[in-house]
Amino acid sequence: MRIGMVGLGKMGGNMAERLRRGGHEVVGYDRDPSISDVGTLKELVDRLEAPRAVWVMVPAGEPTRATVAELGELLDRDDVIIDGGNSHYVDDQRHAGELGAKGVGFVDVGVSGGVWGLENGYALMAGGDAAHIQRLMPVFETLKPEGPDGFVHAGAVGAGHFAKMVHNGIEYGMMQAFAEGWELLEAADVVTDVAGAFKSWRHGTVIRSWLLDLLVRALEDDPELTQLRGYAQDSGEGRWTVQAAVDHAVPLPVITAALYARFASRQEDSPAMKMVAALRQQFGGHAVTSATSGEGAAPPPGGAA
C-alpha cells in the first residue's frame, strides 16, 4: 500500500526503508530536504490516494502535536493518522477526539526495536478502532518481526502508547539491575574476568536476554567503559510510568528506583550509569557523553548519526 511517513530520522528513516523493502510505496517528508521526497506536508498529502494513511515519527510533545494538527487540516474524512513516536497516551486520546470530529481516524503505535529494527523488525503495540487497525495490517505485518509475535492491538486509542510506556519502564528496571551487577563485580576484586562472567550468562541462564547480549557487546567495545561518563538521560516514559502507577495506586518500587538512579546520574559520575549509557547507545543509537570532552559521542556502527 502507499503510505506517508513524516520524520525520517534514525527510526522513521529505517521504518520507511523496511516498508519499501516489503513492497510498499512510501512518500517521506522531513525537515531535512536532502532526505525528503516532498517539500511540505501538503505535498505529501497530495501524493497519497484516498483513503490516506500518514505515519508520524517526530519527537513527542509539541512537535507531534503541531504535526498532527497540521495534518488534521489537510486530510479528509476516512483518512487516518498513525502516531508511532513516544507520545503520552493522554495526548493520543485528545488527538483522536479532535480528529474524530472531522472524520479523520487516529491510531497510536508504540514502537520498539531501535536502530536494529530495520533488519530485525519492530515490536508494535497499537491502539485504535478495529477497522483502522485492520486496514493498516499490511503495514504492521511488514514492520514487525517474522513469526506470530511482535504485534498487538492493545485496545482503544491510547492503549498502544500506554503499553509502550510500561515496556520502557520495565526496560529501565532491567538495565539498572544489569548496571548495578556490573558495578559490584568491578568493585569486589573477587571476579577477575567481569566481561567473561557476563558473557557466560548469555546461554543457559534465566537472565539471558537481548539486553545482556548488548551489555557484552558494550564491554567488548570498551571493557572498563572509560570512554563514557556515568550520565543517562530519560526519555520521559519512565516518568509517565511512575505517574500512572501513582494515579492507579500500583506500587512500582523497581521502576521508580531505576528512574531516580538516572536522576542521580546527573549529579555525579556514577559507574552504574556508564553501563546504562552504554546500553542505550548499543540498542538505540542514543548519543552518549564522552568521559574526556563531555561532548556527545557517536552511536555504534549501524546506529543513526
Asked whether residue 142 falls in the same domain as residue 218, the answer is no
Q: How far apart are CA 81 and CA 116, in angstroms?
A: 25
Cis amide bond preceding 51, omega within 30: yes
Catalytic residue among 10, 144, 164, 274, which?
164
Q: Which domain holds residue 44?
A: 2-156
Q: How far apart are CA 128 and CA 126, in angstroms?
A: 7
Domain boundary pick from 156, 174, 200? 156
Decide if 114 contacts 164 (C-beta within 8 A).
no
Asked whether residue 56 falls in the same domain as residue 103, the answer is yes
What CATH code is carried by the domain that includes residue 273? 1.10.1040.10
103: left (phi over 0), alpha (psi -120 to 50) or beta: left
Asked whether residue 187 falls in the same domain as residue 78, the answer is no
Active site residue 164: yes
State the pTM of this model: 0.85
Asked whether residue 9 falls in the same domain as residue 37, the answer is yes
Asked whether residue 44 falls in the same domain as residue 146, the answer is yes
pLDDT per residue, tens digit, the chain (305 aa), is 999 999 999 999 999 999 999 999 999 999 999 999 999 999 999 999 999 999 999 999 999 999 999 999 999 999 999 999 999 999 999 999 999 999 999 999 999 998 899 999 999 999 999 999 999 999 999 999 999 999 999 999 999 999 999 999 999 999 999 999 999 999 999 999 999 999 999 999 999 999 999 999 999 999 889 888 887 877 788 999 999 999 999 999 999 999 998 888 776 667 777 888 889 888 877 777 776 655 555 555 544 33
Domain boundary pick from 156, 172, 188? 156
- The total number of structural domains that make up the chain: 2
Q: Is 299 within a domain?
A: no
Q: Can you read off the three cell numbers belonging to residue 289?
A: 557523553
